[in-house]
A = this chain, B = another copy of it.
Amino acid sequence: MPKDAQANSRTRSDTAVLEDTKALFIRRWGEMGIYWGISRTMAELHALLYISTEPLCTDDIMRQLQISRGNASMNVRSLIDWGLVRRVHLRGDRKEYFAAETDAWYLFETIMRERRRRELEPIGETIGKCVAMLDQSIPQLRGDSRDVAQECQRRLRGMHQFLVTVGSLLNLALDLGEKGMDMLAKMLSEAKSQPDGKS
């Protein structure tokens, strides 16, 4: 007889709902990971740690996600590199445990900072370099190729300007923090619903 046989069917089924809920969340977060440019497993691992109330060790992760030790180790490390997961040491236990940051705004900040560093900045730099190259080259050109180059320049500048605006809005969002963003969202909604005359 299994040791939890005394548990009545109600209790078992209720705990099952909790487990089902976690599983659903983990599965969906994993699917989204693909769209975010990280692997499904890495996103699932993040979801698992996010939804777990206690820190988990490598073996917990291996068991719950059905993945190998190496895979778990690599993906945990990536999440730590991203700043989304912390190592936790429990007194009197040689194992390492892991816990996710559970504040959604912290997640947003961290991911935005990383993406700015990895994406916004490199592409902005490259476009800047492109613009500079054309600035050098256009005065030498005549006729059609000059027109073409000028239209290219216009488009590159448009993109560059856009990236600058996004960058500064992102900086402002990060400065404002959660409360500021909530306030901003409210203020703007109100301004929209009852626009005053002195536009």
- Name A98-118 residues within 8 Å CB distance of B: 102-105, 107-108, 115, 118
Asked if A25 lies at the interface with its beta carbon under 8 angstroms from chain B, I say yes
Asked if A68 lies at the interface with its beta carbon under 8 angstroms from chain B, I say no
Taken together, the copies of this chain in the complex come to 2
In the bound complex, CA of A161 to CA of B166 (Å): 23
A contact residues vs B (CB 8 Å cutoff): 10, 14-15, 17-18, 20-22, 24-25, 28-29, 32, 34-37, 50-51, 53, 102-105, 107-108, 115, 118-119, 122-123, 126-127, 129-130, 133-134, 136-137, 140-141, 145, 147-149, 151-152, 155-156, 158-159, 161-162, 165-166, 168-169, 172, 175-176, 181-182, 184-185, 188-189, 192
